[in-house]
Structure 1
Amino acid sequence: MRKTAFHGALLATASTMLYAAPAFAQQSADPDTAQASEQVVGDAQSNSDEPGIVVTGSLIRNRDFNSPSPVVSLGEEQLETSAATVVQDVFKGLTANAGSQQNNEQNALQGVSQFSLRGLGVGSTLTLINGRRAGLAPVSDETGQLFTDANAFPVNAIERVEVLTDGASATYGSEAVAGVVNIITRKKFTGLELTGDYRESIIKSWQAGLAFGQEFDRGNFTFFANYRGQTGAFRSDIDLLREADAMNTIDNVPIGGVYNSGTGAPGRFRRAVATATGFGVAGNTLADPDCAAAGGILRGTSCRYPFIDQRRAIAAEDRLQFLGQFDYEITDKLTTFVEASFSRNQITDKIGGTVLNRTTFAGGFLVPASHPFNYFVANGTGIRYAGPTEFAANPALQAVDVIFFGRPLGAAYDGDAAKDLVTTFQNQRLAVGATYELSADWTIDTSYTNARNSYTRSQPYDYDTALFQTALLNGTFNPFGTAITQPTLIGKDGRSLAGNTDAEINAFSFTINDVGRVTQQAAEAIISGQLPITLPGGRVSLAVGGQWRQVAFENTPDGRRQSGNNGRDEVEPAIPLTKQTVYSVFGEMALPILDRFNMQLALRYEDYGSRGGSTVDPKVSAKLDVTDWFSLRGSYGTSFQAPSIRQIAGAIGNDSVTDPLLGAAGGSFNVTVITRGSDNLTPQSASNLNLGAILNTDFGLRATVDYFTYDYKDLILPGGDPQSIVNAVQAGTLPANRVVRDGAGQLRQVFTEFLNRGNAKAAGVDFNAIYRPGFWPWGTLDLTAQSTIITKFRSDQFAGLDGNGDLKGSRNFANAFGSVPDFKMNLGANLEVGNHAFNVTGRYIGSYTDDQSNLPIKSNTVVDVRYTLTLPGFIGGDETKISIGAINLFDVDPPRIRDRPIYDTEVHDPKGRQVYVSLKHKF
């Protein structure tokens, strides 16, 4: 157990919790100012008239509670003006979000998304639904962290999103290291509401939603349904990617092929020579003579494969979501609730000519002289291509055995001809609970949450090496370019056709089926109320409770993956059902020391058992109202993260690296990164400090500024980034078995492991403001500003940009942190005049550095606009809203990076200008 002097002091303080603490007196505010506060930046206070509502950042169940915690609140209006159709769209409205999972392509995280506050990782931000845990995605990121898929909940069910930008492990547990995202649903909605949205960019998307709510004598019921679909886009559909592939340069520096591979289809050939152990090669190398005609790129003696449309850059999606809520007052003292949600998201990628890493002879495959479409003949010790015409004219010609270097299928099977790679995520969540008023001052809240999330993935074109070689020996599969250029050509045997049928391909091609699931359960009880002790500022409030939670994780790759008998020659072991159980006890006290000075103390003990240890984490917060319009706040706390199930068992992912054998001119390669787990990991810990000021004037200006620091210790991270491992193997400082190349010498796999890897420190400033000028003569005008400045981000384990651990303003490709641009700013203006509303928002991301290439990633500014017409009583309804708008109005491309994926998927959006129209009609 970790325990410091500060912990001891807090433990001593905890004993006084049995005798002291009042709620902070909620100050009255001008309604306009209060409304502006709720819209942009708030002090985490409940706006509900009901007891038992959890305030984000606190366990105190009190409608008058006013927490000192820094919370950014995005209300229904902000969700509308940001044109959010999935929760991921909210990310762009939070400058504190950095390094999140957003535009995932070609990996297991396609279709899922999560906040990452401060760039500290998706596993360091806790997501709640109405103050209770939201559940976990059945996949992990490449650091092995489990996280919530924020896109699993329907946007039309959300009343607001509250983001606590301060460490909160003392309140919520280990995952709340960087902060908390609390999604508050529309509990009080009544009536019937229909919504629709259609938008076009390089893809098309559409959405339809339904909301229904009914109040009755002792309760209410709400139901939300949402359907969303989108088309997919290949890389060639995106100007930035297509142009990068054509240019092959950045800032006039040649970088070689961006989307082409030396393992082609058609491929290249050498003469096969029998040896004591099989076959070797001799003589010259020839590219398939039909290389270019069959879709390849001829470079010297190599037929390269242009794989720009082998996979989609943006997958198609088909998402169906439901959420229902039921609240019922059984007696005057006892109320109960039920929340149930379901989400099914089907992500459809495409996959074309995949590679076959495991070869049979001399790094390739034997094509015998008897093959009906082998027209290579001897030329000294080497070969030349005679072709079908010469063979027909000279029956005496004899083919020779050759070794084929390439992949079974090529560009002819890409794009629209590619097969569907389908991943389906299914999320189910049930939360039940009750609140009982023990007395006029005390309540007990109990709840149980069960979230079950699973995925299935079906990936075609996984090849069997032995069966592929058999098809070549039998002549039933044609590896030559004639299969594409002359499919009706009759072979040397007088009966075979050159074109390959589905049946002939399926003889050695299989579909990989992977499945996985995760269950998160949490049960807790919290007693909250006011003690009979009064301080100068009011009565002392106290909350104490306990929690049991359990994560059960299971991942079952296809049997071919588990055995390593697959086209990529990878071994991914299954993770049997593994459980991680945590027991917690906690307490919190609100101390109104003076009328203008409040303190909040929190303390939490968590026990993870033998694979995580135990911890005591405190947090102390305070707020001083210097004047009626100016306040100071601050907090200090510690946090703790035990190794995740994935970090213990291992994880698998993908990354792009440059081959040091070829240099920058050789382009980048997509490699599989296999990170081994460990039972010897120790928990990572962190402490954080927040100091802030709040300005709330009577002339319409409200602003907050907060300085934050995070100090991480014993971080659990992969033992090295793929590029550094490849470089070290080439330099001889790491063993050769850390990298796997295929028979053609192309990089395929990189091996690393999870380790406790030193410490990291981050610091910065958050600024939020809204101004509603009272002198504005036309309607209501709100001007908003939000910015995050990272002033420090350093590691004692990674070289960073300066060779001495500086990770600030870096893409952080060479380590396990997220991309951290050191300056982000959002500026907005919202004007309402009668039934008309106009909104314009500018989002600026400053320049930062791609540490993979040491080249700058340029700054990026995009502008969103929206117009909304509100029609009361239209076609018999209560209200109708019709909106048109554009996201990225000026169609600004994301700034380019040198290597694939060509833009930073954690920061920028490749879709370009999105023009949309949306409708909301309430009956």
Structure 2
Amino acid sequence: MNQTHPQMRKLRRALALVSLPALAIASHAQQSSPSAAAEGETVKIEKFVVTGSYIPVAAGEPANPVTTISATSIADSGVSTSLLEVLRKTMPQFTGGLNLGSSNADISSGSTGGGSSVALRNTQTLVLINGRRAAYAPILASGGIQFVDLNLIPIAAVERVEVLHDGASALYGTDAVAGVVNIILKKDFTGFEANARYAFSDKKGHYSERKFSLVGGASSGKTTVTIGGEWTKTDPMFQYERGYSAESYGTPTFGGVITNDATGDFYVLKPGLNAPPLNQNLTLAQLVANGTYIPVDGSNLASGVGTEKQYAFNLANYVTLLLGNERSSALMNFEHRFTDSVTLFGDFLYTQTKTYSQLNAQPISSSRSAADPTNPSDVTLRARNRFTAFPRQYFYDSTSMRGVLGVRGELANGYTWEIAADKNRIDQSYRNQNVVNTAARIAAVAAGTINMFAREQAAGAIESSGMFGTAFGFATSTIENYDGRITGKLMDLPAGEVGFAVGAERRVESLVQNSDVYSQSATFGWDSATTLDPLNTSRSVNSAFVDVRVPIFGGNHTAPGFHVLELEGALRTEKYSDTDDPTVPKLTLRWLPFSDEFALRGTYSESFAAPTLFQMFGPTASGSTPSLALDRFGGGTPITGQGNQQNPANPNLKPTTSRNYTLGFVYSPRALKGFSMSVDYFNIDQKDLVGLYGATLILQDVELRGTASPFANRVRFGPADDFSQFTNGTPVTAAGQIGNRPIDNVYVRDPYENISTVKLAGLDLKFDYSWKMDTLGKLDLTLAASYFDKYEFEPYPGAGFSETAGYASTFNGTIPKWQTILSGNWTRGQWGATFSWQHVPSVDDQNAYDETDPGADTYVEPFDSIDLGVSYAFGANTRWLNGLSLRLGANNVFDAQPSVAKGTFSNGNADIATYGAVGRLIFVEARYKF
């Protein structure tokens, strides 16, 4: 008996559903003659493929909400070194903590490794280059976030960016949950264009940006070639260089601080002293009385408040606020027409980036007995220190090579076809300078080479100790993709053609990582450095899609209230080698009730995002839990300290899924020529996101409930510093067992699981007006706005939803309830001017709430930034300068400073990804076409 695979049965049922509109009217099409063409010459309307559909449409007719950012808009943005910042400058929908680039330069820099991630509405977003996938950033191999690195895209190579504001997994597959960012590279370029730009800050540190690019192309009739290159360099910026971030506290561990191990009391070495005298053997009271040490409150010392602020350690003096970034890129794009119906095409993009960030020197501490000659007291003390001349420095060097080669052509009856292969490989090397070698540190302290009680060491002591070294790692991310598709006409209906597209794709993704021996868990030898364990994993994905557009009304076939009515259905199935195989649909409606002036549009789609290779197969790192304060079973003092935790990969993860709705309209009244507006409602309900329960939750539940806790099998007990106890330790048998033993004897495993849910909804609005003012020139105005009705997050089932729209939060970063960007471009002859006004309203800092201080300030100020620019293009009347244009301008002209939100953004005190770090940035730019 023949059996059909369940996945194929699902696909067939879905295909039948998508094809239903066409089948329902097929008989009518066979009985009706096509609409008659007007007598005389036929006017052919050029059609294009726009992101959101594989079926070509005439300009201005896409049913999906798509924003196109042209090369002109990119230039007008005043940004020339970061494509991420171009998107943030032009579209308010790019907001939230997943839109992260050069501002990720502090303690969390390892999550992006110098790269730039983008997320429409702070939700998973697919990034394409010329309509095809790119490799994920290699930082994923060490547990960083999964993203396509926009820092590898040279802005000079970009023709336009198409942003689809809607789920599109039915066409493009995984990650297209919130939408798609499709980066279209330049081609068919004629002549050459050179561009040079210098930008600088007039404030402390004099931050600067430099760029040079050259793009050119030629055509021989059958062959067109476009080439280009770009070099950019931006300086690092340090926290102390800006007033809002110039003070940052949070540590009691630095030179001159000691703690009484028995009592937990803190003392600071008297200012002016480098170290206490040797061989004293005095009581702490005597050391205070003779002026060697000053007793302090440890919490105040760490926070830099009270009288202890005068002794506190300002972290801002050594930490980068913005990455240092240097990028070199080369581009080639070509087409060769073999015949009128067959064309060979391809493109190649090479990019090398070098990024740099810095943290304070590693905090270290050592418990020294009274017998130690450097310990001036008669009790065991914990000496705290950090050697500030050796800050931790992070270097990420990435090299990306991406090539595409394909053939496209035309068949009879207007059918078109295309097949292509592409490969993208990204190699990343990582160096972490000035990490502390644990064994060398212990030996140097024991030998007396290093005095842990001294603020500054003897000349040459640190160098001779060999305690500082360099950790390094290497990671490679690769994607190979093979695809093909056919588009064409299924039939003619009275309202027009029934268009279709079908296609298939196979891709292979791989992720590889290696590191120095001291960075690997089994042989870890650095003090608190990043664990980098070997990884070599891959997956394959086979997929197929169908896309059908059916015109119900249109052309000469209309009815009252139905000037145009179109339905489009798409379906995609993907078969993974390592997880579930999703099949997802999308339905699209475009309805013009009366004329071309007013169009309604709506979509329903289901999308998905596959779990990452790291989440499924990544190495398991062992470390400490967050600092705990657990309620004790039966009451009593809280359980404090840090236990041991692991976050194992989970090969049984499944894709996260979502249901998306959009409904909106476009209005372009003929009575107001040059004006158009669009309003679109969006709603995304996403479930089964991969997350962690958290060690605190697990341990608290097990302490209070024992074996009745669903987490009981995740907790084990055993001797300290023995990672085998995670699996071989003594299991939980009753409540209260965590609190009756040292906390470092507790081991908890918290694997990745499909447990989180987000729900978001809101509006996107856009108003465009192009005004030709006779002798006064032309003025183009755009107002773009976004509004969140909600952005709710539930970390695990039963936890309840928390709202993040209108807040600065740990989960989402800054999500304003609404924000706007007003921009304008004026041209008159050879002169031009641009302006932009970004407004971010106030939000509340969720993490500033303090039960002990009801008056704590949670209000985050509104923010306004205005950019201005003026340009002049030399014409043919200036012979030697013909083709040259100059531009002078400033971003954030009035030097608005970021709104402070210290609760959520404790490192730099503000969300500089949202508000910017630099302040006023003055730039001059020259462009020469020849």
Length-normalised TM-score, structure 1: 0.79
- Of 138-147 and 613-622, deviating more is 138-147
2:73 aligns to what SS in structure 1?
helix
Q: 2:495 aligns with which of 537, 541, 545?
A: 537
Partners of 1:781 and 1:872 lie apart in 2 by 21
1:470 aligns to what SS in structure 2?
helix
1:323 aligns to what SS in structure 2?
strand
Partners of 2:105 and 2:642 lie apart in 1 by 12
Shift of 1:796: 4.2
- Of 820-829 and 283-292, deviating more is 283-292
Partners of 2:445 and 2:439 lie apart in 1 by 10
1:379-432 Cα offsets, whole Å, 9 max, x none, are xx45xxxxxxxxxxxxxxxxxxx655213x333x16xxx464311122111111
Q: 2:115 aligns with which of 112, 131, 139?
A: 112
Q: 1:616 aligns with which of 583, 587, 591?
A: 583
Alignment correspondent of 1:167: 167
Alignment correspondent of 1:481: 454
1:806 and 2:766 are equivalent in the alignment: no
Partners of 1:826 and 1:159 lie apart in 2 by 22
Identity %: 24
Shift of 1:894: 1.1
The two structures, once aligned, show a CA RMSD in angstroms of 4.1
Partners of 1:673 and 1:422 lie apart in 2 by 28
Change (3 A) 1:805 1:482: closer
Change (3 A) 1:73 1:670: farther
Partners of 1:919 and 1:687 lie apart in 2 by 47
Aligned amino acid, residue 355 of structure 1: P
Alignment correspondent of 2:915: 908
Partners of 2:78 and 2:597 lie apart in 1 by 33
Change (3 A) 1:451 1:222: same
Alignment correspondent of 2:505: 547
Q: 1:852 aligns with which of 840, 847, 852?
A: 847
Change (3 A) 1:741 1:910: farther
- Of 2-11 and 422-431, deviating more is 2-11
1:807-836 Cα offsets, whole Å, 9 max, x none, are 3223331x4x45422201111222112211
Change (3 A) 1:654 1:115: farther
Partners of 1:347 and 1:233 lie apart in 2 by 12
Alignment correspondent of 2:127: 127
Partners of 1:569 and 1:618 lie apart in 2 by 47
In the TM superposition, what are the counterparts of 1:331-730 in structure 2 within 5 Å? 331-356=339-364, 364-365=367-368, 369=372, 374=374, 377=376, 381-382=378-379, 403-407=381-385, 409-411=386-388, 413=389, 418=391, 420-481=393-454, 483=456, 498-501=458-461, 503-505=463-465, 507-531=466-490, 533-562=491-520, 563=522, 565-569=524-528, 572=531, 574-595=533-554, 596-609=564-577, 611-626=578-593, 627-650=595-618, 675-698=647-670, 699-720=673-694
In the TM superposition, what are the counterparts of 1:722-761 in structure 2 within 5 Å? 752-761=750-759
1:867-890 Cα offsets, whole Å, 9 max, x none, are 111112456465222111111111
In the TM superposition, what are the counterparts of 1:294-309 in structure 2 within 5 Å? 300=296, 305-309=313-317
Q: 2:62 aligns with which of 60, 63, 67?
A: 67
1:45-98 Cα offsets, whole Å, 9 max, x none, are xx996x8x6421111256679421110111111101101212012222111112
Shift of 1:587: 0.7
Partners of 1:285 and 1:165 lie apart in 2 by 55
Aligned amino acid, residue 519 of structure 2: R
Partners of 1:691 and 1:753 lie apart in 2 by 39
Are the equivalent residues in 1 in contact too, given 2:267–2:294 (CA < 8 A)?
no
1:769-794 Cα offsets, whole Å, 9 max, x none, are 11123567510011211101011222
Change (3 A) 1:602 1:680: same
Partners of 1:670 and 1:238 lie apart in 2 by 35
Aligned amino acid, residue 880 of structure 1: L
Alignment correspondent of 1:329: 337
Change (3 A) 1:232 1:571: closer
Change (3 A) 1:450 1:101: same
Are the equivalent residues in 2 in contact too, given 1:214–1:220 (CA < 8 A)?
yes
Alignment correspondent of 1:781: 779
Are the equivalent residues in 1 in contact too, given 2:623–2:646 (CA < 8 A)?
no
Partners of 1:512 and 1:840 lie apart in 2 by 46
1:449-495 Cα offsets, whole Å, 9 max, x none, are 111112111112222333212112222234343635xxxxxxxxxxx
Shift of 1:118: 1.4
Change (3 A) 1:229 1:91: same
1:89 aligns to what SS in structure 2?
helix
Alignment correspondent of 2:890: 886
Are the equivalent residues in 1 in contact too, given 2:18–2:570 (CA < 8 A)?
no
Aligned amino acid, residue 419 of structure 2: T
Shift of 1:674: 7.0
Change (3 A) 1:465 1:186: closer
1:141-190 Cα offsets, whole Å, 9 max, x none, are 99865211112111011111110001111011111111001111221211
Alignment correspondent of 2:85: 89
In the TM superposition, what are the counterparts of 1:114-193 in structure 2 within 5 Å? 114-120=117-123, 124-140=124-140, 145-193=145-193
2:240 aligns to what SS in structure 1?
helix
Change (3 A) 1:653 1:864: farther
Aligned amino acid, residue 755 of structure 2: R
Change (3 A) 1:332 1:755: same
Change (3 A) 1:672 1:653: farther
Aligned length: 809
Are the equivalent residues in 2 in contact too, given 1:812–1:850 (CA < 8 A)?
yes
Are the equivalent residues in 2 in contact too, given 1:227–1:319 (CA < 8 A)?
yes
Are the equivalent residues in 2 in contact too, given 1:130–1:183 (CA < 8 A)?
yes
1:11 and 2:4 are equivalent in the alignment: no
Change (3 A) 1:15 1:887: same
Alignment correspondent of 1:198: 198
Alignment correspondent of 2:258: 268
1:483-539 Cα offsets, whole Å, 9 max, x none, are 35xxxxxxxxxxxxx22345324x1222100121110121100011122x2112211
In the TM superposition, what are the counterparts of 1:829-848 in structure 2 within 5 Å? 829-848=824-843
Are the equivalent residues in 2 in contact too, given 1:20–1:542 (CA < 8 A)?
no
Partners of 1:761 and 1:503 lie apart in 2 by 54
Partners of 1:192 and 1:340 lie apart in 2 by 19
Alignment correspondent of 1:824: 819
Partners of 1:334 and 1:204 lie apart in 2 by 48
1:13 aligns to what SS in structure 2?
helix
Change (3 A) 1:128 1:848: same
In the TM superposition, what are the counterparts of 1:790-805 in structure 2 within 5 Å? 790-797=788-795, 804-805=801-802
1:503 aligns to what SS in structure 2?
helix
Are the equivalent residues in 1 in contact too, given 2:678–2:765 (CA < 8 A)?
yes
Are the equivalent residues in 2 in contact too, given 1:784–1:829 (CA < 8 A)?
yes
Gaps of 5+ in 1: 28-46, 246-257, 271-279, 383-401, 485-497, 663-668
Partners of 2:351 and 2:644 lie apart in 1 by 29
Partners of 2:463 and 2:882 lie apart in 1 by 60
Partners of 1:629 and 1:288 lie apart in 2 by 76
Are the equivalent residues in 2 in contact too, given 1:291–1:481 (CA < 8 A)?
no
Change (3 A) 1:671 1:227: farther
Change (3 A) 1:912 1:576: same
Aligned amino acid, residue 524 of structure 1: D
Change (3 A) 1:688 1:287: same
Shift of 1:15: 7.7
1:111 aligns to what SS in structure 2?
coil
Change (3 A) 1:773 1:897: same
Alignment correspondent of 2:731: none
Partners of 1:13 and 1:704 lie apart in 2 by 27
Aligned amino acid, residue 921 of structure 1: Y
Partners of 2:715 and 2:273 lie apart in 1 by 35
Change (3 A) 1:623 1:137: same
User: Bigger relative contact order, structure 1 or 2, given CA contacts below 8 A and separation 6+?
Assistant: 1
